[in-house]
Amino acid sequence: MQMTEEGLALIREWEGFRARAYRDAVGVWTIGFGHTSMAGAPEVSPGLEISRGEAEKILTRDVETFARGVASAVTTTLSGNEFSALVSFAYNVGLGNFRSSSVLKAVNAGDRAAVPRRLQLWVKAGGRTLPGLVKRRAAEAALFLKTDDATVRAPVETPAGKPAHRSTTVWAAVSLALLAGLDQVARALGYGFLGLAFLALICAGAVWIIRERRRKLTEDGV
């Protein structure tokens, strides 16, 4: 797996060149093509200035570091475009975040169709959505889907969940509605004990539905 020229161009485009050190969207000192001290030398500090030629050399070293990190985390074979898109993503969010991301989880599970959607979960910095990150994730997704003959595979939409008639959550909601109706009937007929029993079942069902929804959101992750 090797980084492609198109992948390098993507990083250059979205990082942009800055000759003087600056703070990025989350306050980290950055220079050149998105280089930070976390990536290695040179250490970025206020007032540091470099030429474009120096920035290119730093970018080459940094990309090699991130490429090794991505290659060590991926457990499946990737095309050059797929690999380059992941390196660009890792270069932007950091190798630690990449290793714990659902993007890598989808790749290693062979669920390539899910990768574009998972990439779009990483569009925030400092707690707010940045239009530039939305566009960058879209560019990385397009590169990931691009085949060797320069065509782009259409992303396959994965089902949002089970069919309604097979969803336990849906059946739980229907059951709750029936219990609520029975509760009202019991109360109208003066069966207070039955009403309390139905109410307890309704509360238990509601708690179960909430837990299921939270579990599914956690599994999707970022």
Mean pLDDT confidence for 30-43: 95
- Alpha-carbon separation of residue 29 from 8, 47, 55, 207 (angstroms): 22, 10, 15, 46
Q: How far is CA 7 from the centre of its chain?
A: 19
**What is the tens place of the pLDDT at every residue in 44-57?**
999 999 999 999 99
- Which residues, in sequence order, are CB contacts of 203 under 8 Å at separation 6+? none
How far is 211 from 218, CA to CA, in rounded Å? 10
**What is the tens place of the pLDDT at every residue in 69-109?**
999 999 999 999 999 999 999 999 999 999 999 999 999 99
Q: What is the end-to-end Cα distance of the chain in Å, rounded? A: 25
Residue 154 has pLDDT above 70, yes or no: no
**What is the tens place of the pLDDT at every residue in 116-143?**
999 999 999 888 999 999 999 999 999 9
Q: Which residue has the higher pLDDT, 187 or 164?
A: 187
Whole-prediction pTM value? Answer: 0.69
Q: Judge whether 102 and 122 are in contact, CB under 8 Å.
A: no
Least confident range from 7-21, 74-88, 138-152: namely 138-152
> Helices 168-188 and 192-220, interaxial angle, to 10°?
160
Q: Judge whether 48 and 20 are in contact, CB under 8 Å.
A: yes
Residues belonging to the active site: 15
Q: Judge whether 36 and 26 are in contact, CB under 8 Å.
A: no
Can you give the residue ranges of every domain in the chain? 5-145, 164-220
Helices (H) and strands (E) in the chain, counts: 9, 5
What are the backbone angles phi and psi of residue 204, rounded to the nearest 5°? -65, -40
CATH code reported for the domain at 5-145: 1.10.530.40
